[in-house]
Amino acid sequence: MKVQSVCKSYKTNQVIDQLSLDFTDGEAHGLLGANGAGKSTLIKILMGLVFPDEGIVESLEDIVLLPESPYVPLNLTAYQMLKYACSVQNTTQVETLLKDVRLKEESWHKPMRSYSKGMKQRISIALSLAGNPKYLILDEPMSGLDAMGRAHMLKLFTKIKKQGTTILMCSHAVTDLVRLCDTVHIMAKGKVTESIVIKEHSMKEAEVLENRLQFWSSEHAMD
Amino acid sequence: MQWIKLAHLTLFELWQNRTFKTLLTVALLTPLLAVGLSSLFLYDIGKVYVDVVAAMAQLLAVVFFIFLVVTLLSRDIFDRIVYVFLTPPMSRRDYYIGRFLGIVAVFVLLLLVLLLSSVLGAWLYLDGLSDMYQSGYKWNYLGQLVFFNFFQYISILGFIFFVVSWSSGNAETMLFTLAMLIFSWIFPPVLAALQSPDVMKDTPEFVVYFLQWIYDVIPHLRGADITLSIAHGGSIGYQDTFLYVAEHILYSVIFFALGLAVFKRRDL
């Protein structure tokens, strides 16, 4: 997964500015930045949902996105939607996935319009895991989840990483990034300003990340 | 062939929609309405029955496309549900084709329910009446109505896919689709009226040619003339039927292809 000299602007607003990044296979990478830093746009460019104005993006066959908000068709049941996703990916692990994300069995066959935000997030995670993708992009994967749900999903993502999936996680929760990722890239004003290697996955490293984020988010940092 | 899977899912998605279930119920109850209204007349009962079914077919189709289809596609694109679908190996082309065919399948289902319930109603109600009251009703009128209605709205569906590919939201898509419907209902009859011999005799020749040209080129999406003709016992020849079907399929394909070309290049 690689981008080279990518630029993207919406009218006069330059969102991504000459960005180059190489994501090592089999590792978990984090994207950290203030609102408007260009994280979501970079993710959409990697997924082919947004086209860059300039630059090269290595298009991937086996890549899946877990979007920022749980976007699901509300009239379908979780089981129907997951069955569809599994059929597209040529797998049959519907029930295993629903159990993996701990979606209560009594809600499997209910329309998703009756789901809470957390339940929708769980089904979104299950959808993104259908077919065991080689590359997994997570955009704020913990939003809407309670503390127990967050801990469980972190364990699940760690397990997937150990199975060889390359993960790119975008989050404002620094502790989640430190727990899962091997490298965290800090973004500001459409550029990757710093890449920090996470060795111990400790709270101390989370504090360092927060300090660096504050520095790069300050107005004069880019000068 | 990923589009087949999405077409199948679309069928389920619309089937489980409450508005669609309401439309199905209305389609099932249409014969009752037709019987109720036609029984107010002394003669022409058969004609009124077919007229009511024709009107309901139009109404159901308009509600289906404006409120269900436009909302479904708008939610997909503007509420970003499309992100879930556009995961490799599903391409944007597969998504467009799958959604289109799924919607067509559901529309066929709605029209079939209307047709079967209306034929059954006519069989129970009109069969017992003498020919004078039936006013020339034949069982195949209802089939023809549904057939022509289907192709009329297939062009509208193509147009909706075109609008969704570049519009910026649900309201805009709905506005343009409604505008197209109104345009297709109002404009061709006005142009046809302008070409009547009485009006043409005082019109400059180049204007007549120009009006004729516009009349030939613009989409004739209105099926009201045909349904009225059928209801009143007019027969529609094979050649006219072929031209009608070809015209509507052509418009649908053109709009769909344009929409797909734009959709493939737009940021989502």
Token pair belonging to B247? 């015209």
List CB contacts of A208: < 8 A, sequence separation 6 or more: A196
State how far residue B76 is from chain A, nearest Cα, in angstroms.
8
A200 touches chain B (CB under 8 A): no
CA-based nearest residue to A183, from A166, A204, A163:
A166
Residue A7 has pLDDT above 90, yes or no: yes
Q: Which of residues A133, A157, A186 is at a domain's end? A: A133
Token pair belonging to B68? 């269900």
State how far residue B152 is from chain A, nearest Cα, in angstroms.
28
Residue A19 resides in a domain:
no
Chain B residue at shortest CA distance from A40:
B268
Residues A222 and A157 in one domain: yes
Chain B residue at shortest CA distance from A63:
B88
Question: Judging by beta carbons within 10 Å of its beta carbon (0-12, 13-18, 19+), is residue B198 exposed, middle or buried?
Answer: exposed
Residues A56 and A147 in one domain: yes
Work out the mean pLDDT of chain B and round it to a whole number. 87
Of the candidates B5, B83, B267, the beta carbon closest to that of A71 is on: B83
Chain-centroid distance of CA A205 in Å reads 20
One-character DSSP codes across A123-172: HHHHHHHTT--SEEEEESTTTT--HHHHHHHHHHHHHHHHTT-EEEEE-S
List CB contacts of B69: < 8 A, sequence separation 6 or more: B103, B157, B160
A75 touches chain B (CB under 8 A): yes
Residue A20 resides in a domain:
no
Chain B residue at shortest CA distance from A10:
B267
- Which pTM does this prediction carry? 0.89
| Per-residue pLDDT tens over the stretch B1-36 | 889 999 999 999 999 999 999 999 999 999 999 989
Q: How far apart are CA A180 and CA A106, in angstroms?
A: 31
User: φ, ψ for residue A155 (rounded to 5)?
Assistant: -65, -40
Residue A70 has pLDDT above 70, yes or no: yes
Residue A87 has pLDDT above 60, yes or no: yes
List CB contacts of B20: < 8 A, sequence separation 6 or more: B14, B64, B68, B106, B110
**Any idea what DSSP says for residue A181?**
-
Task: Categorize the per-residue pLDDT at B141 as very low, low, confident or very high, splitting at 50, 70 and 90.
Answer: confident
Do B86 and A73 lie within an 8 Å CB cutoff?
Answer: no
Of the candidates B5, B13, B17, the beta carbon closest to that of A88 is on: B5
A5: domain CATH number?
3.40.50.300
Residues A47 and A146 in one domain: yes
User: φ, ψ for residue A46 (rounded to 5)?
Assistant: -60, -35
Do B13 and A75 lie within an 8 Å CB cutoff?
Answer: yes
Work out the mean pLDDT of chain A and round it to a whole number. 89
Instruction: Kindly list the residues of chain B whose beta carbon comes within 8 Å of any beta carbon in chain A.
Output: 2, 5-6, 8-9, 12-14, 16-17, 75, 79-81, 83-84, 86-90, 265, 267-268
β pairing state of A135-139 and A166-170: parallel
CB contacts, 8 Å: A84 with chain B: 5-6, 8-9
Task: Categorize the per-residue pLDDT at A202 as very low, low, confident or very high, splitting at 50, 70 and 90.
Answer: confident
ipTM above 0.85, yes or no: yes
Backbone CA torsion sign across A65, A68, A72, A77: positive
| Per-residue pLDDT tens over the stretch B87-119 | 888 899 999 999 999 999 999 999 999 999 999
Residues A33 and A75 in one domain: no
How many domains does chain A divide into? Answer: 2
Q: How far apart are CA A98 and CA B48, in angstroms?
A: 54
One-character DSSP codes across B92-139: HHHHHHHHHHHHHHHHHHHHHHHHHHHHHHHHHHTTTS-HHHHTT--T
**What share of chain A in percent tops pLDDT 90?**
54
